[in-house]
Structure 1
Amino acid sequence: MELRTIREADLAGKKVVMRVDFNVPMKEGKVQDDTRIKAALESINYILAQKPRYLVLMSHLGDPKKDFKKAQEKAEKEGKSLDQETFFAAKNRMKNVAEYLANLIGKPVAFSAQTTGTQAQAVCDSAPESGIIMLENTRFDSRETSKEASEREAMAKELASLGEVYVNDAFGTAHRAHASTETLAHFLPAYAGFLMEKEVAYLDPIVSNPQKPMVAIVGGAKVSSKIAVLESLLKNAHTLIIGGGMAFTFLKAQGHTVGKSLVEDDFIDTAKSLLAKAKEMNVQILLPVDHLASAEFADVEPTYVDAIDLPENLMGLDAGKKSVELYAKALENAKTVVWNGPLGVFEFKHFEFGTHEIAKVVASLKAKGGITVVGGGDSVAAVNKFGLAEKMSHVSTGGGASLEYLEGKALPGIVALKK
């Protein structure tokens, strides 16, 4: 898929409005992980090098209304009170992110406490040549996510009035048809940033025409959230490794005993259907053949189960040594590997073995000429935890977006940038 990119745009002297994905974890007003901010720096620096009139950055940061409601309910249960503005300042206001970005790039970043309107316009007008402006969290404006096209259009027009060129580098929100991610592209000349371009360049071939053999690793808790991606990957994969909690639904579908492990009984038939479809398509499916287990969901010393079947009193929380060896063998000659979802509860020290060992195997393939793509929040967190992210060909910044792309869906934010 070819996108219009900022290389093709005339940015000199222009007012540039850019959607970024700075939806980063916050604690007490401090950025906890700047991966997404750093991912946008290549595009930001390129645009500034073209000497624009100014560069306006906009992003969402959580969902203020939903975040506060959830926190308020928790506080009430604990008999505490919660001040809304104090909560927003610590978790949802972009001012802290603007200050973090300024320190990161060594340039001032002006902040507008409004996303649109007179204040936003005034901050832009007073910006120095090639200055940077950060707008307030787009989701403080209910029109951003409105189901009414007319409301999204009204907000998009107000955002468009701040610029002459629109750049979208927020792959993580590309699956949402929001005012700042898709609608705005209809009111200004629209281009993809380098991060958006890179995400599409790595993910598109996996869906359309990957280098083969391709091995897909799909993990995580539930089959229900991965059905579409499993079906899509069957079209091109040579081998499909299924791990994590979702593996137990497949094992039960095969007639194995799974003890206290997580199982989605409503999806047993779906698992049977996927297994049958894989057989028809000559795709090898690998499931755990041994387990690291526990009687409770806790970071405790594991019980090793040297069998596919689990006793009634145990739940499988990680892949065992024989499973890892089986998976590693399947990955040996892979030309393309796509990984979405961990193979166990890697957040627990006692149950990180399977995910860590396979992460090391996948990381070794890039040096052999293989293409390795990691997507999905948990698997990205895992390779970051193990210090292996830089050894992958590409680590996607979009959790839901990368999952939907792998499902073969057309993402609104990307469609709006196609040539």
Structure 2
Amino acid sequence: MSDFKTLDDVSFQGKRVLLRVDLNVPMEKGRVTDKTRIERVASTIREIAGKGGRVVLLAHFGRPKGKKVESESLAPVADAVGKVLDRKVAFADDCIGEAARAAVDALDDGEIVLLENTRFHEGEENNDPDFAKALAANGDLYVNDAFSAAHRAHASTEGLAHLLPAYAGRAMQKELEALTRGLEKPTRPVCAIVGGAKVSTKIDLLENLVGRVDKLVIGGGMANTFLHANGVAVGKSLAERDLAETAQKILARAKETGCEVILPVDAVVAKEFKAGAASNVHMIDTIPEDGMILDLGPASVERVKAAMSDSRTIVWNGPLGAFEIKPFDKGTVDAARYAARRTEAKAIITVAGGGDTVAALNHAGVADDFTYVSTAGGAFLEWLEGKVLPGVAALRKS
């Protein structure tokens, strides 16, 4: 990853290392209920501590809007981090000032402290230079391992990188390498699979992708908007009919760039959206007036599989149907499992991300079989949209 400085480029012995991590984990009654985000940054923490660094963890939790909110304290998270690492993790009740300084000064080489929620201070989200300097006062080096927060130009994600020697942690490095393989420097042909409910939330994404990929599969409720734009009667299906002109512009742009857009040719249709609802497969030009398109039909799934077979790289964001309710999960599950088999056979590189996408791949039982699955919702989406992520840009080699 030559564009970024990594842990390979620095000696940590005896250094105070400000390590920005994502510990915005699910909590219930003061206990962490899902340690996935902690586990993702554990290797970076262990490596820095193992090389004699004094690890100072910086993180946000919730949305306290610049005020100290007891229910959004990181104190309970320190215990969870310690259990994942199987070592003591100290805690300081502020991220700047005397409390933070005393906690950092008490560290020996290889020891770890978690500082209190950075968002308890207004200067964090405002990227206030004075607040960034107050954070920097407790470190000699800065490491960012929180890609999920990299789309925010906050003091702990962007400001610090301009005040201290800055490096990408291992989780950040892994994410950037995967994303580079997905769109920046992909093995072609590239196929993007985009699903979800609404076109309105993914206009920037679609406009960027049609200029960068060879094939674009559109599924989920958003496909209905494109079908409507093409004059197809979609019955009572979810569709943003007022975005027909936008959909046509995206299709026209795809034609200009030589991107093949793949829309459903058949669909699973029901009269009501509930588990076990009676459903039938209809060709797209025979959707009943009282019917709702809730999943891809078998012929459409085969078209998606064919697009994957013709490609070397797959970028996936969004489910292809209403996967949360059976039997409308079949299209997403079948396509995901086919992608997983192709990945296992080393025929394709698969990069996926976004909250609904992760849930859908877990539902299909294949999240661990893709080349890389990003848990960074907003940051992953903005990267797909071609936007500059401030926390990433700040880590680039000058």
Q: Tell me whether 96-105 or 240-249 shows the greater mean CA deviation.
A: 96-105
Distance 2:147 2:125 in 1: 16
Q: Does the 8 Å contact 1:217/1:240 carry over to 2?
A: yes
Q: 1:125 aligns with which of 105, 114, 118?
A: 105
Question: Could you say if the C-alpha distance between residues 304 and 34 of structure 1 is closer, same or farther in structure 2, counting changes exceeding 3 Å?
Answer: farther
Distance 2:73 2:269 in 1: 42
**Partner of residue 259, structure 1:** 235
Q: Does the 8 Å contact 1:242/1:287 carry over to 2?
A: yes
Distance 1:143 1:124 in 2: 21
* 1:412 aligned onto 2:390: yes
Q: Which residue identity lines up with residue 360 of structure 2 in the other structure?
A: A
Alignment of 1:274-313 (within 5 A): 274-309=250-285, 310-313=287-290
Q: Does the 8 Å contact 2:182/2:351 carry over to 1?
A: no
**Partner of residue 292, structure 2:** 315
Give the SS at the match of 1:246.
helix
Distance 1:211 1:384 in 2: 26
* 1:204 aligned onto 2:190: no
How far 1:31 sits from its partner (Å)?
2.4
Q: Does the 8 Å contact 2:333/2:363 carry over to 1?
A: no
Q: 1:353 aligns with which of 330, 334, 347?
A: 330
Distance 2:48 2:32 in 1: 24
Q: Does the 8 Å contact 1:239/1:286 carry over to 2?
A: yes
Runs of 5+ in structure 2 lacking a partner?
none
Q: Does the 8 Å contact 2:269/2:282 carry over to 1?
A: no
Distance 1:285 1:2 in 2: 32
**Partner of residue 324, structure 1:** 301
Give the SS at the match of 1:350.
coil
**Partner of residue 203, structure 2:** 227
Alignment of 1:141-156 (within 5 A): 141-146=121-126, 152-156=128-132
Question: Could you say if the C-alpha distance between residues 241 and 302 of structure 1 is closer, same or farther in structure 2, counting changes exceeding 3 Å?
Answer: farther
Q: Which residue identity lines up with residue 107 of structure 2 in the other structure?
A: A
Distance 2:200 2:317 in 1: 14
Q: Tell me whether 154-163 or 378-387 shows the greater mean CA deviation.
A: 378-387
Distance 2:326 2:155 in 1: 42
Give the SS at the match of 1:216.
strand
Question: Could you say if the C-alpha distance between residues 15 and 317 of structure 1 is closer, same or farther in structure 2, counting changes exceeding 3 Å?
Answer: same
Distance 1:262 1:96 in 2: 42
How far 1:13 sits from its partner (Å)?
0.5
**Partner of residue 74, structure 1:** none
1:334-369 per-residue CA deviation (whole Å, 9 max, x = no partner) reads 210000111122222332211111110111122232
**Partner of residue 183, structure 1:** 159
Q: Which residue identity lines up with residue 49 of structure 1 in the other structure?
A: G
Give the SS at the match of 2:232.
coil
Q: 1:381 aligns with which of 359, 363, 373?
A: 359
TM-score when normalising by structure 1: 0.89
Alignment of 1:41-80 (within 5 A): 41-52=42-53, 54-65=54-65
Q: Tell me whether 173-182 or 321-330 shows the greater mean CA deviation.
A: 321-330
How far 1:65 sits from its partner (Å)?
4.6
Distance 2:273 2:137 in 1: 53
* 1:139 aligned onto 2:100: no
Question: Could you say if the C-alpha distance between residues 97 and 348 of structure 1 is closer, same or farther in structure 2, counting changes exceeding 3 Å?
Answer: farther
1:91-110 per-residue CA deviation (whole Å, 9 max, x = no partner) reads x3212221111111110111
**Partner of residue 26, structure 2:** 25
Q: Tell me whether 42-51 or 119-128 shows the greater mean CA deviation.
A: 119-128
Give the SS at the match of 2:157.
coil
**Partner of residue 137, structure 2:** 161
Q: Which residue identity lines up with residue 57 of structure 2 in the other structure?
A: L
Q: Which residue identity lines up with residue 18 of structure 1 in the other structure?
A: L
Question: Could you say if the C-alpha distance between residues 27 and 160 of structure 1 is closer, same or farther in structure 2, counting changes exceeding 3 Å?
Answer: same
Question: Could you say if the C-alpha distance between residues 320 and 38 of structure 1 is closer, same or farther in structure 2, counting changes exceeding 3 Å?
Answer: same
Q: Does the 8 Å contact 1:338/1:372 carry over to 2?
A: yes
Q: Does the 8 Å contact 1:51/1:130 carry over to 2?
A: yes
Give the SS at the match of 1:101.
helix
Runs of 5+ in structure 1 lacking a partner?
69-83
**Partner of residue 112, structure 1:** 92
How far 1:302 sits from its partner (Å)?
4.4
1:361-410 per-residue CA deviation (whole Å, 9 max, x = no partner) reads 11112223211101111101221233312211111131111111122221
Q: Tell me whether 255-264 or 174-183 shows the greater mean CA deviation.
A: 255-264
Q: How many percent of aligned residue pairs carry the same amino acid?
A: 46
**Partner of residue 77, structure 1:** none
Give the SS at the match of 2:300.
helix
Question: Could you say if the C-alpha distance between residues 302 and 6 of structure 1 is closer, same or farther in structure 2, counting changes exceeding 3 Å?
Answer: farther
Give the SS at the match of 2:280.
strand
Q: Which residue identity lines up with residue 47 of structure 1 in the other structure?
A: I
Count residues with an aligned counterpart.
394
Give the SS at the match of 2:156.
coil
Q: Which residue identity lines up with residue 384 of structure 2 in the other structure?
A: L
Q: Which residue identity lines up with residue 330 of structure 2 in the other structure?
A: F
**Partner of residue 345, structure 2:** 368
Distance 1:239 1:301 in 2: 33
Distance 2:254 2:16 in 1: 51
1:299-341 per-residue CA deviation (whole Å, 9 max, x = no partner) reads 3424123211432222222222222122112111321000011
